[in-house]
């Protein structure tokens, strides 16, 4: 296997939300196959700065697959061609020597472009805020096993809570739906005793906020589950729909 490759990066450049964008292509040589994808963008930006050109704006933070900030659409896939990873965990060994790699920002009405590859994902924060708080009075800090919860329920709640809010589900969906994200956030509380009291009203409020912010409808294509770096199951969407219907009946 080659240790270094040459690639062409076809990058979306856009100066602002109201500005028309376009692709620009940059060539990079002698890129180590062990480099991460974001490290390759760092190399490109260093090259652009040395040429007195504007560096490419892209989001990143932890670079450990935790924060969900590295939201890039690479060769037609959210987070790139590798499965179950975020962009910062993608390595150049997944690409061929001489390959042209197309890099775009998330495409959704709910995620407007700020500049280049960076989008505004505060819509997810607004959806979470609309869900409100858990108002159960738990008193002092209980022991971990003080509240009996079946293991399978705890496991499902933890699986749902592993969602990092990266937005890959929205980017993968042909409708730009945020149902997988919303259902994960609803499920992580609806499955536990502390979240039961407001489960229905929370689902109703979060779905309403999702619609208000311009996200599309779910048509069960399962693209969101396929591209999710944390393997969030669409079974959570079924749970969200049940909670939403209960809220409609009660309220």
Cβ within 8 Å of residue 134, ≥6 positions away: 189, 194, 195, 197, 198
8 A C-beta contact, residue 219 and residue 167? no
pTM score, whole prediction: 0.92
What confidence tier does 1 reach under pLDDT thresholds 50, 70, 90?
low
Q: Which of 57, 63, 61 is nearest to 11 (CA)?
A: 57
Identify the pLDDT of residue 243: 87
pLDDT-derived band at 170, boundaries 50, 70, 90: very high
pLDDT band at 156 (very low <50, low <70, confident <90, very high): very high
Query: Stretch 154-176: mean pLDDT, rounded?
Result: 96
Instruction: Name the token pair of 66.
Output: 């935790």
Quick check: 142 pLDDT over 70? no
pLDDT value of residue 148: 83
pLDDT score recorded for residue 149: 87
| 18-22 mean pLDDT | 95
Please tell me the predicted confidence (pLDDT) of residue 137. 66
Mean pLDDT for all residues in the chain: 93
Going by pLDDT thresholds of 50, 70 and 90, the confidence category of residue 146 is confident
**Residue 10 confidence (pLDDT) above 70:** yes
Contact (Cβ atoms closer than 8 angstroms) between residue 183 and residue 240: yes
pLDDT > 70? residue 251: no
Which pLDDT belongs to residue 136?
64
In this prediction, residue 185 has a pLDDT band, given cuts at 50, 70 and 90, of very high
Kindly indicate the confidence band of residue 2, based on its pLDDT and cuts at 50, 70 and 90: confident
For residue range 72-101, list pLDDT tens digits in order: 999 999 999 999 999 999 999 999 999 999
Question: Is residue 59 scored above 70 in pLDDT?
Answer: yes
């Amino acid at each position: 296997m080659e240790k270094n490759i040459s690639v062409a990066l076809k990058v979306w450049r856009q100066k602002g939300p109201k500005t028309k964008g376009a692709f620009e292509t940059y060539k990079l040589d002698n890129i180590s196959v062990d480099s991460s994808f974001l490290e390759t963008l760092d190399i490109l930006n260093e090259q652009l700065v040395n040429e007195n050109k504007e560096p490419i704006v892209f989001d990143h933070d932890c670079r450990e697959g935790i924060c969900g900030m590295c939201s890039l659409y690479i060769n037609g896939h959210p987070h790139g061609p590798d499965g179950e990873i975020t962009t910062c965990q993608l390595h150049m060994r997944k690409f061929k020597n001489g390959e042209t790699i197309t890099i775009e920002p998330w495409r959704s009405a709910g995620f407007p472009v700020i500049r280049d590859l960076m989008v505004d994902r505060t819509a997810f924060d607004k959806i979470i805020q609309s869900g409100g708080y858990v108002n159960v009075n738990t008193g002092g800090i209980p022991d971990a096993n003080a509240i009996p919860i079946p293991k399978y329920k705890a496991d499902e709640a933890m699986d749902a809570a592993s969602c990092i809010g990266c937005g890959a589900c929205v980017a993968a969906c042909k409708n730009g739906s945020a149902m997988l994200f919303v259902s994960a956030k609803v499920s992580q509380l609806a499955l536990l005793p502390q979240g039961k009291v407001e489960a229905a009203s929370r689902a109703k409020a979060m779905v309403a906020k999702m619609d208000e912010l311009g996200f599309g409808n779910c048509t069960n294509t399962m693209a969101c589950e396929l591209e999710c770096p944390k393997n969030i199951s669409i079974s959570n969407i079924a749970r969200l729909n049940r909670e939403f219907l209960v809220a409609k009946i009660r309220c």
